[in-house]
Structure 1
């Protein structure tokens, strides 16, 4: 693992795969970079794939206070290190961060996002904003387990799924990342994509969703991610919308990598 120092002194760790034009991969909620690693390996035949751990995750630092602007500065430092312009791939809330970075004017070529969980419509927005309030309270009081439960409920997990997760070996590592749920919430803002800000994005943008809802998120509306994708397309000017043949919300490298290769190839 290599590292770069962000503007506020936070070390950000990353791995490089392959050679060629640079593609930076950005993970989503409760991910320390692990989920995108197989995608980076698949892209390595055509690109320099750079997979990093966002601040507060894995070996990356977590200088306080947090702000969305600090995460954008983290990416800017990484782009300076590998040489821009870079292509971006963001999964879930990492897709929201990728779009925010593009709107902030970073040295970016093309952008691809997958299953960005923006809230669209009054009920979804109200549920999102209630979640953010409860999440902040839980984390302020050090109740990390409750923060995880809140997130899983919002994401459509059943009580049985949550109980099974608590009894599994994955629960302690998730607790280590629970505080970063507030960082993902900051990336997603008030719920819907910020139309005025995203209207300034001029780079070609590929907006991807799967063919259906992940069974572990069965409590969500069947078109939840499609509505979010359509909302992105409505405010970002140069978009391409595609549906890929997956149902899982976690990134499927074998399915997504060829789509990304075609989109990012010069």
Structure 2
């Protein structure tokens, strides 16, 4: 594990593996760099892979108040550490952060790949999102971190019995520890109502691969299609048979083809 110091003085922990052009992995909600280790291993024969703990997670520190700009600065610090422009891949809400970084950092990101940024323009989805955000805010304000994690799992469709089993698992304390970062992803990075950010997407000037899973939620395809149409250099790809968490041996070749092609 190594650290880089972000612009506001916050230490950001990361692992580096492999040799080749720099590729930075941006994780989604409740995910740390440890969860990216398998994907890193698949990519390391072709890239110098940087997997990092986003601020407030794992071994990275945090600062208050939170701002999306600070997370973009974290990514910028990693790009500088990598020696200049880098490839960036973001998964889920990490893809939304990577999109914003591409707008702010311009050509410091050579190419961008995104997998299932969870924006949703459907009206019924906006109502569910509003209710989720309200309950999440209340749980975190009361420091009910376990309830916040369970609420997120319920929102994404995990059965109640599976959530209860997770509460009893050794992994639960780690999830509770990073529960406050749910607010970062869901009340800041994804915007006030989780709509597809067309006005930001049109400002992404670098080549961008927008992916969805063929076995995932139908709205993920609609979101990916909307983003790919809005981005000047966007291309859409569906990974057949994959859900919201794609298999690394399917995702890695798609990333390798896009970044090195």
Matched residues in 1 for 2:243 and 2:171: separation?
18
What is the CA-CA distance between 1:181 and the residue it aligns to? 0.5
1:225 maps to what in 2?
Answer: 220
**Structure 1: gaps of 5 or more residues:** 214-221
Question: In structure 1, the residue corresponding to 2:129 is in which secondary structure?
Answer: helix
Q: Which residue of 2 aligns with 1:14?
A: 14
The C-alpha deviation readout for 1:23-64, integer Å capped at 9, x for no partner, is: 100100110112222112211111111111100111101111
4+ runs deviating over 6 angstroms: none
Which runs of no fewer than 5 residues in structure 2 stay unpaired? none
Q: Say yes or no: does 1:254 pair with 2:257.
A: no
1:35 is paired with a residue whose SS is helix
Q: How does 1:26-175 map to 2 (within 5 A)?
A: 26-106=26-106, 107-175=108-176
User: 193, 198, 204: which one pairs with 2:196?
Assistant: 193
Give, in whole Å, the separation in 2 of the partners of 1:251 and 1:9. 34
Structure 1 residue 264: deviation in Å?
0.5
Q: 5 Å matches for 1:232-247?
A: 232-247=227-242
Task: Tell me the distance in 2 between the aligned counterparts of 1:212 and 1:8.
Answer: 41
Distance 2:260 2:184 in 1: 31
1:176 and 1:85 mapped to 2: Cα distance?
33
Aligned to 1:217: none
CA deviations over 1:233-259 (Å, ceiling 9, x no partner)? 232221111111343433421111111
Q: Matched residue pairs, number? A: 258
Distance 2:230 2:134 in 1: 27
Q: TM-score under structure 2 normalisation?
A: 0.94
Aligned-partner SS, 2:105: coil
Find 1:210's aligned residue among 205, 208, 213: 213
Q: CA–CA distance in 2 between the matches of 1:251 and 1:34?
A: 16
Conserved? CA contact 1:246–1:255, under 8 Å: no
Q: Secondary structure at the match of 2:173?
A: helix
Q: Tell me what 2:258 maps to.
A: 263
Structure 1 window deviating more from structure 2 (60-69 vs 192-201): it is 192-201
On the 8 A contact 1:26/1:52 being kept in 2, the answer is: yes
Aligned-residue Cα RMSD (Å) equals 1.5
- State the distance in 1 between where 2:214 and 2:105 align: 32
Output the CA distance in 2 between the equivalents of 1:245 and 1:226.
12
Q: Deviations over 1:179-213 (max 9, x none)?
A: 11011112111301221122111111111111213
Q: Secondary structure at the match of 2:125?
A: helix
Kept in 1: contact 2:209–2:236 (CA 8 A): yes
